[in-house]
Amino acid sequence: MKQLIVASTNKGKIKEIKAILKDINIEVLAMNEVLDQEIDIEENGKTFKENALIKAKTIADIINKPVLADDSGLEVDALNKQPGIYSARFLGHDTSYEIKNQYIIDAVKDKDKSARFVCAMALVIPNHEPILIEETMEGLINDKIEGENGFGYDPIFYFPPCKMTSAMMSMEEKNQHSHRAKALKRLYAILKEVI
């Protein structure tokens, strides 16, 4: 079976990717399942796409196999699209998402609550041009932290069509509407052709 290595150790992210790509005859593995050393990738790009490509190329150069990387985050319009590409490091590397989420809720109180999740994906296959895709999920910042099913900013991201936060959605609902699901669905057809 052909393998697709995901340049991530985020269990929530890996689970979503495996669920969406389950119908393709490809084994999806996290990078720590194939690498015997810790790789510290410096995400110094200026956009989600640049960071995704940096991650995918770094791992692909080491293992010489197809590598998928995503860079995703939350853009809040009232905060000049912050946290943006710094979503994971927002308010400091070791700050819990409970603190980050409450900070954002407080920061947009009485302001425009429009926000979006952005997901950029880079697929790097040896001897092919890199493939870059970007998708969004439009929503609002919720008034409170709600839901148990997500990770990161999911508990404060309210998705109007489903009338709930991303963290309240089932995996099926998430895989229908999320920024990552949309990007992966576009990649699905490409993966069937090129891997």
Binding residues for Mg(2+): 42, 71
Q: Which two tokens stand for residue 124?
A: 């790097």
- Tell me how far apart the alpha carbons of residues 119 and 48 are, in angstroms, rounded to a whole number: 7
Query: How many residues make up the chain in this entry?
Result: 195
Per the annotation, binding residues for substrate are 8-13, 72, 151-154, 174, 179-180
CA distance linking residue 56 with residue 67, whole number of Å: 6
Helix (H) or strand (E) holding 50: helix 48-63
Treating both helix axes as pointing N-terminal to C-terminal, what angle do 179-194 and 11-20 enclose, rounded to 10 degrees?
A: 60
What is the DSSP-derived secondary structure letter of residue 24?
S
Of 71, 94, 106, 143, catalytic: 71
Write out the binding residues. 8-13, 42, 71-72, 151-154, 174, 179-180
For 127-134, which contacts have Cβ atoms below 8 Å and span 24 or more sequence positions? 128/194, 130/53, 130/56, 130/57, 131/187, 131/190, 131/194, 132/49, 132/52, 132/53, 133/183, 133/186, 133/187, 134/48, 134/49, 134/183
- CA–CA gap between residue 58 and residue 76 (Å, rounded): 29
Verify whether residue 71 is a known catalytic residue. yes
Nearest Cα to 59, choosing from 45, 72, 49, 70?
A: 70
Positions annotated as catalytic residues are 71
